[in-house]
Amino acid sequence: MNQLEKIKVGILPILENHGIELYDIVWTHEGKHKILQISIMHPDGSMDIDVCAEMAELISAKLDEMDVIEHEYMLEVCSPGAERVLRNLDEVKNEVGKYLYAQFKEPVGKLTEVKGTLNAVEENELCFDYMDKAVKKKCRVSYDNIKLIRLSVKI
């Protein structure tokens, strides 16, 4: 089991006890500083700074207890963000009715990307409503043709 997997196993019970989901754990760098970034969210995808601060204290204490990190680091407990990447079809299915951005591997008609409302996921096909100039249009694309898909903030 690698270091990040050990950390995950150690902190999951803390998060689950507070009704929080783990989105991701990654090492990042800022200059010479190593940062352990732990992204968390409520089941509905939301998150607030007070919960992040509370979880950071609990996670920090657990990491000290586990003693699996040998070097100096900074801990960052944060939200995955308003435009978080959807990493698999199950995550996409949970966002039906939401405004998303998707890039395609191969064009769909003349489209290489779409920004619109995901109306349905039918088997392996995503159904979007989007605006083209002032006209509402529909787009259907196979999940296998998705290069990137994430939540998007509608402006």
**What does the pLDDT profile of the chain (155 residues) look like in tens digits?**
899 999 999 999 999 999 999 999 999 999 999 999 999 999 988 999 999 999 999 999 999 999 999 999 999 999 999 999 999 999 999 999 999 999 999 999 999 999 999 999 999 999 999 999 999 999 999 999 999 999 999 88
46 part of a folded domain: yes
Claim to verify: residue 20 and residue 74 sit in the same structural domain: yes
Residue 72: domain span: 3-78
Let me know: does 124 contact 143? Beta carbons within 8 Å: yes
C-alpha 47/C-alpha 20 separation (Å) is 9
Tokens of 115: 């920004």
pTM of the full structure? 0.85
Number of structural domains found in the chain: 2
Q: State which of 78, 105, 137 marks the end of a domain.
A: 78
